[in-house]
């Protein structure tokens, strides 16, 4: 019989292990795979009646990085909608996309900060689908903090 002294580590080990296993074998939650949408869904838009999701909502980057922002457009049932126009308006720098209309329900944009602006600041990226506008706050931090 396992002593009480050993019981606790065993139980903790089992629980940790089971959680670890679950993360490893369940595709929807494993690392390296597309995460299920977790952010708030905004809408419906007018006139299309779409719902908009933006990920990530929080971006922290240094001047030399190029983070991606994914915009997903869905119908009421949560199904992806194609060929919907998505516009990006950054407060500084530029944002490039492969297509301005959704394919597979999404548009992916890549943000580039304004050149030479190495001071820490918050950039605003406005994502618009019809009449719904979602703002992504991009915290730009120095490449090197120390002097």
Coil, helix or strand for 35?
coil
Q: Does 20 bind another protein (CB under 8 A)?
A: yes
Looking at residue 71, what DSSP letter applies? Answer: E
Q: How many whole angstroms separate alpha carbon 129 and alpha carbon 143?
A: 33
Coil, helix or strand for 96?
strand
Q: Does 39 bind another protein (CB under 8 A)?
A: yes
Q: Does 94 bind another protein (CB under 8 A)?
A: no
* For another protein, the closer CB: 21 or 96: 21
Of positions 55, 70, 80, 87, contacts another protein by CB under 8 A: 55
* Longest Cα–Cα distance in the chain: 69
* For another protein, the closer CB: 16 or 103: 16
71 to 65, 75, 79, 82: CA distances (angstroms): 19, 14, 14, 12
Which positions lie near another protein, rule CB under 8 A?
A: 1-3, 6, 9-10, 13-14, 17, 19-21, 23-26, 29-32, 35, 37-40, 42, 55-58, 63-64, 91, 115-116, 118-122, 124, 126, 132-135, 137, 139, 141-147
């Amino acid at each position: 019989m396992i002593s009480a002294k050993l019981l606790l580590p065993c139980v903790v080990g089992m629980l940790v292990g089971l959680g670890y296993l679950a993360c490893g074998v369940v595709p929807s939650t494993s690392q390296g795979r597309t995460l299920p949408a977790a952010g708030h869904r905004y809408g419906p838009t007018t006139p299309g009646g779409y719902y908009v999701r933006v990920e990530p909502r929080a971006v922290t980057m240094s001047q030399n990085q190029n983070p991606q922002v994914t915009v997903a457009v869905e119908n009421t049932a949560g199904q992806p909608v194609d060929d919907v126009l998505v516009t990006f308006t950054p407060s500084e720098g530029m944002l490039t996309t492969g297509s301005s209309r959704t394919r597979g329900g999404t548009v992916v944009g890549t943000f580039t900060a304004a050149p030479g602006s190495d001071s820490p600041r918050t950039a605003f990226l406005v994502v618009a689908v019809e009449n719904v506008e979602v703002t992504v706050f991009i915290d730009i931090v120095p490449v090197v903090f120390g002097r």
